[in-house]
Structure 1
């Protein structure tokens, strides 16, 4: 690696896939992944010099977070989780997830094809009401057009909001410049976080995408405290094969060391990079806190 990772370096976006006999996948899923469990994840982190990690619930498990939480438990204090739950989950279940080091709820709108803006706004407001004051955040996986439309709702949620994968700026028919401006407004204007993760999901070839590099540099100048980095390991398949419920699809082949070096080149090896890798994740996910406190189950006023 061309630059030295600082102590506390954090990968803010990975997934875990365990033995399907223990952790069955949901019916109607878009793909069937191979095995990539906590042992594989630990080897990935150690091999790349990363100390901390955030395990994000993938769509293949729906709202059954057992595999994600199993990985977090097996990695100990170096891991946090972002889970997927129903809006009606009770406070006791949320408190139990908090005690097991979950720190956020993911709204997986892109995978589910959710583009109904009223329904999206209602979902955001429902979760914001549940999570506000708990130390948790909302993580939103959606195309930039949906994000831009519900941006004001996200901004007034009263808790941190994290946008996945560059806001998928290269998707759909929107001109790239217009899409990047929308993401800039979300971060610099409305105060949302964005994950500089999985650029291959935003553009076809990150190595040949100077516009994406330009977006990162503008975000670094405008709001470096709102930026996070994630590898998206083990790289769920970006294409969908027929028979997705019967055929295991291989993970996409991504050079993770190169991806991290690319971000370092775009950001610069200085305070902003340390913030993205260490300080911002530590504050958002509560790394280093010895007595995390949850507001779930407390009387509401």
Structure 2
């Protein structure tokens, strides 16, 4: 781990984490699909420091709905190291959007996969509404959706008029599309449609990320085609895949070796300049972080 930390470029950023606070202060949404344990800003800070990561993006999880209080509290407590991706209603007013921007938010997430949303027409209407709302905001739209939905909406996403970020490899290994075909489609979404993609949570797409040559080849193809549109994220603390079936019982986070995940992405990318672009330069541009060692940009 120490050798890996020394090899990471200064200013390395984890672009996909979550924060879960004390439910007495930050209550969960009724009807949520899972109930997480505690993973607050102090734990997040420890995770970053343990892995040599300078900056972080805290992504609003589905369990809080549109109440971004816990996410923004974590950003505040990270003292300049963090940005947020929030969940809001498409009719949010200018003043509320400005307040969120001041608090560190730079994007809106659509949690389609978590809710099992597969209706393409419904997803298309949702994307259109948020794209219209964000077009003049300098924010981006982040989409957590199955590969089939992303592929069906490829033209709309490419012409959205705002940056679009795909979560978790586009979930290429799920549903009916063969993995190799889905991987080729992802290259088109990034290279042909100009979308960004998070090289995060590969275990959501394949059983063993260390034995997934198609995924390794996909990263190589993306690096060769569009390195300026690639991001990396851990998905810490790895929620929502270990279900108890009882909404009143907190569920264990998935056991993931985050040090191995960092080593894996470095091994997949191999090129030092490309790795710096993915871990430092691209997050700095998309999320408005300041230069390494400086204050975040407004």
TM-score of the superposition, structure 2-length normalised? 0.95
Q: Does 1:17 align with 2:48?
A: no
Q: Which runs of 4+ in 1 moved over 4 A?
A: 289-293
The equivalent residue for 2:37 is 34
Partner of 2:117: 114
Tell which deviates more after alignment, 96-105 or 84-93.
84-93
1-structure distance, mates of 2:237, 2:271: 26
Instruction: Please give the secondary structure, in 2, of the residue aligned with 1:254.
Output: coil
Q: How does 1:46-61 map to 2 (within 5 A)?
A: 46-61=49-64
CA distance in 1, matches of 2:76, 2:212: 38
The alignment status of 1:282 with 2:288, answered yes or no, reads no
Distance 1:20 1:291, change over 3 A: closer
Distance 1:242 1:44 in 2: 28
Q: How does 1:1-301 map to 2 (within 5 A)?
A: 1=1, 2-3=3-4, 4-243=7-246, 245-288=247-290, 292=297
Measure, in 1, the Cα distance between the counterparts of 2:162 and 2:202.
Answer: 26
Q: Distance in 2 between matches of 1:98 and 1:237?
A: 27
Give me the CA root mean square deviation: 1.2
Across the two proteins, how many residue pairs are aligned to each other? 292
TM-score by length of 1: 0.94
What is the CA-CA distance between 1:291 and the residue it aligns to? 8.1
- 2-side partners of 1:26 and 1:80: how far apart? 23
Shift of 1:16: 0.1
Q: Give the distance between the partners of 2:245 and 2:151, measured in 1 at CA.
A: 33
Moved more, 99-108 or 231-240: 231-240
Stretch moving more, 11-20 or 151-160: 151-160
Instruction: Return 5+ residue gaps in structure 1 as ranges.
Output: 294-301
| Larger RCO of the pair (alpha carbons < 8 Å, separation 6+) | 1
Distance of 2:143 and 2:245 partners within structure 1: 27
Distance 2:271 2:225 in 1: 17
Please give the secondary structure, in 2, of the residue aligned with 1:250: coil
Contact 2:19 2:70 in 1 (8 A): yes
Q: Distance in 2 between matches of 1:266 and 1:207?
A: 10
- Deviation of the 1:226 alpha carbon: 0.5
2:109 is paired with a residue whose SS is strand
Distance 1:211 1:144 in 2: 15
